Amino acid sequence: QVQLVESGGGVVQPGRSLRLSCAASGFSFRSYAVHWVRQAPGKGVEWVAVVWFDGTTKYYADSVKGRFTISRDISKNTLDLQMDSLRAEDTAVYYCAKEGILGGNRCLDSWGQGTLVTVSS
Amino acid sequence: EIVLTQSPGTLSLSPGERATLSCRASQSVRSNYLTWYQQRPGQAPRLLIYGASNRAAGIPDRFSGSGSGTDFTLTISRLEPEDFAVYYCQQYGSSSMYTFGQGTKLEIK
């Protein structure tokens, strides 16, 4: 069964950096795109970034482009999110999610439990 | 960029009633790449419906999705206590970018 376990959240000052990690198991990690999605306290969900199965094709939401970097390590079955120049508005629970292709439709079919990032001085 | 608008923002109903949630897109959603998720309090979102009308594995048949183009609907035929949650629609666009609606909170009346 698919498991995604995030780690690395915490409290960080504005302008500083933080690195999140997601440990994946129960599926062929090298075969699927994986995403980061976040949710600010009391707000809706916001897509952040994706890395394709090839490990080199990456896309970002405009709100994080140039500040966040997504990467994956096939040998360790891990997904990372390097977050630089953090802002207060980056405060959120960060989820990693596996993309599935169901009947030709792309969707996020498995999610981790999330890790909380708080950006505050 | 396609914007998804969900309505109503909050829906108050009683167990056993029928719920109808709407998701409207600012442009036509290609190939019906429209997905619905359920998020219970304190939990991660869970896949409910993909391709506008297909139930994900393990989802009860009281959940159904319909629609095409710019107008989509999630219907819950008879509400169970565990169905009171927040529901999000989401579309997959170009460059693997995902867009979510702002959510509809389904609360107990």
Residues in chain A: 121
Q: Is B32 left (phi over 0), alpha (psi -120 to 50) or beta?
A: left
CB A67 within 8 A of CB A54: no
CA A96 – CA A117 distance, rounded (Å): 13
Percent of chain A with pLDDT over 70: 100
Mean pLDDT of A71-83: 96
- pLDDT averaged over every residue in chain A: 96
Residue B66: per-residue pLDDT: 95
With a CB cutoff of 8 Å and minimum separation 6, the contacts of A99 are A32, A33, A34, A35, A50, A106, A107, A108, A109
Residue in chain A nearest B48 by alpha carbon: A109
Asked whether the predicted pLDDT for residue A18 surpasses 90, the reply is yes
Q: Each residue of B2-41: pLDDT tens digit? A: 899 999 999 999 999 999 999 999 999 876 789 999 999 9
CA B71 – CA B25 distance, rounded (Å): 7
Q: Each residue of B39-67: pLDDT tens digit? A: 999 999 999 999 999 999 999 999 999 99
Cβ separation of B88 and A104 shorter than 8 Å?
no
Mean pLDDT of A102-113: 92
Q: Which residues of B touch A (CB under 8 A)?
A: 31-33, 35, 37, 39, 43-47, 50-51, 54, 56, 86, 88, 90, 92, 95-103
In the structure, what pLDDT confidence band is assigned to residue B95 with cuts at 50, 70 and 90? low
Closest by CA position to A121, among listed A90, A99, A88: A88
How far are the Cα atoms of A39, B46, B93 from residue A1, in angstroms, in the given order? 25, 15, 28
Mean pLDDT of B82-95: 91
Query: Phi then psi for A29, rounded to 5 degrees?
Result: -55, -35
